[in-house]
Amino acid sequence: MNPVPLYVAIPLGAAFLIPLLGMWWKKSGETLAVLSTLVLAVMAILAIGTPAMVHHMGGWTAPLGIALVSDGLTVLLLIAVNVIAFLCIIFSLKYMKVYTGLTKYYSLFMLMVAGMNGVVVSGDLFNLFVFLEVASIASYALVAFGVEADELEAGFKYMILGSVASVMILFAVGTVYAVTGTLNMADASREIATRFGGAEMNPALLLAAAFFLMGFGLKAALVPFHAWLPDAHPSAPAPISAMLSGVVIKSLGVYAMCRVMFHVFGFGTASPSSAIIANAMIGFSVLSIVVGGLLAIGQWDFKRLLAYSSIGQIGYVTLGIGVGARVLATGGTRSLAALAILGGLFHLINHAAFKSLLFLSSGAIQQATGTRDMKMLSGLRKRMPITAATTNLAALSISGVPPFSGFWSKLIIIVATIRAGLMGVAVVAIAMAFVTLAYYVKVQREILFGPVRGPAESAKEVSPLMYVPMIILAIVCVGFGLLYPVLGSRILEPARDALLNGAEYVKLVLG
């Protein structure tokens, strides 16, 4: 049998075993969380290069039963989710010591991982919604884990807006079911292709697409659905911020949006309806890039700055994918669409690495100095050399300085945008890349360089349990930039091809 159900079953088992064993064994959370995320991360890395496979739950074949699917795109997301989850758990071992109720923390963490893995492997629309809720509800609780007033407020706000998004997604799932009579994504996609292939879609389906775009857009924090993120991400404990910004907004938002748009609504073929949706995607992306970037400049709270930066960077990811979808929808060349999507996916995995690293660094700095106010901090380079070095690397990478990973992914996205004939969008994307550089230069200048003063004077380098995950992520940031020829053909190109070939997905699932 194939290992796809394990991605859901292992974290789910750990999530329920931790509180049960935690009644007698205080260390159950730490031990089981480290073990299970390690197994998951190794499994995800070993899945590179394996052929696409499908697991029929309970032996019921595809249109009837629930299919769990693993293809190139799934593997890309599984690697991002599980490797970062493992590193965040290692970071938590020391960082979370100051909190109480740790069995609950690890249990919720594993539940969140189970939900994300479930969203990524699910081949069924309703099942995707259920896992999305599992991951979302776990993350609402984790955002409020500190139970201070502002954390509870941020968690509550996140819960309300997240529930609005879930209702939209549920409504869209219901509409697709009403029109096509099936919940299986491959079956729905085949139905839509035979009925509307290349022509104007049924208005009900367009409405469903709009609701999916809003719902997943809210989970991905695209502007104008971003209001929850700048509160929720800074309020959570640092490893949770790293998970939320690093992988949750991508697996629940961007991945689910791509999967549904390409593999249910059939973005692969030219049609006036997909062009409308793709243009809307590009519009939201440009808004996110501009608003996220401009708002980040004025922030003096380090984590809040990172949160606004996430909004801007997620805009680049969806811009790449939106441009690819638009090229396909308007009958452009397939190779250009492939380039744009590759750029988007590359930026997705790069952003997962450097944004989690930045949030982990912010946690290390907060623990060492007791503050995250950038006006109070200065000269940490001398007091915390390792944290400062990793922060520096991540900042250079995210702001697109060659030869780090962020440069290449933004370059690919911008080149594809120009070749697609969207000059205005490309100019905005280039200009905002410089703005990104500007606010990360501000981070470096205010926090890392300058004279040692204020809280930095008594700061000491954090423990190895905290800086080793940060060093690993920093190596990944550099590695993705330099080793693209190796990584690209193994991870990114299968993911891109999986997204482009909707017909193959249908064949894989329905046999």
Q: Rounded distance, CA 76 to CA 282, Å? A: 23
Residue from 51, 59, 451, 485 that binds another protein (CB under 8 A)?
Answer: 59
CB of 73 to another protein, least distance (A): 21
Q: DSSP code of 492? A: I
CB of 415 to another protein, least distance (A): 43
CB of 18 to another protein, least distance (A): 8
How far apart, in Å, do the first and last CA atoms of the chain sit?
A: 17
If binding is defined by CB under 8 A, does position 113 make contact with another protein? no
Residue from 34, 41, 56, 288 that binds another protein (CB under 8 A)?
Answer: 56
Q: Rounded distance, CA 221 to CA 217, Å? A: 6
Q: Show contacts with another protein in window 11-30 (CB under 8 A).
A: 12-13, 16-17, 19-20, 23
Q: Rounded distance, CA 505 to CA 345, Å? A: 18
Pick the closer one to another protein by CB: 16 or 25: 16
Q: Rounded distance, CA 134 to CA 116, Å? A: 8
Residue from 36, 55, 89, 317 that binds another protein (CB under 8 A)?
Answer: 55
CB of 381 to another protein, least distance (A): 43
Residue 212: beta bridge partners? none
Q: Which residue has the tokens 């929808």?
A: 329
Q: Rounded distance, CA 341 to CA 214, Å? A: 20
If binding is defined by CB under 8 A, does position 423 make contact with another protein? no
CB of 135 to another protein, least distance (A): 16
Going residue by residue from 60 to 99, which x/- string records binding to another protein, judged by CB under 8 A?
--------x-------------------------------
Pick the closer one to another protein by CB: 114 or 208: 114
Indicate the SS3 state at residue 197. coil
If binding is defined by CB under 8 A, does position 5 make contact with another protein? yes
Pick the closer one to another protein by CB: 59 or 485: 59
Pick the closer one to another protein by CB: 65 or 454: 65
The per-residue DSSP string of 320-340 comes to: HHHHHHHHHHTT--HHHHHHH
Residue from 34, 57, 141, 468 that binds another protein (CB under 8 A)?
Answer: 57
Long-range Cβ contacts of 416-421 (<8 Å, 24+ apart): 416/320, 416/323, 416/324, 416/336, 416/339, 416/340, 416/343, 417/319, 417/323, 417/340, 419/336, 419/339, 420/323, 420/326, 420/327, 420/332, 420/336, 420/340
Indicate the SS3 state at residue 198. coil
Binding site for another protein (CB under 8 A): 1, 5, 9, 12-13, 16-17, 19-20, 23, 55-59, 68
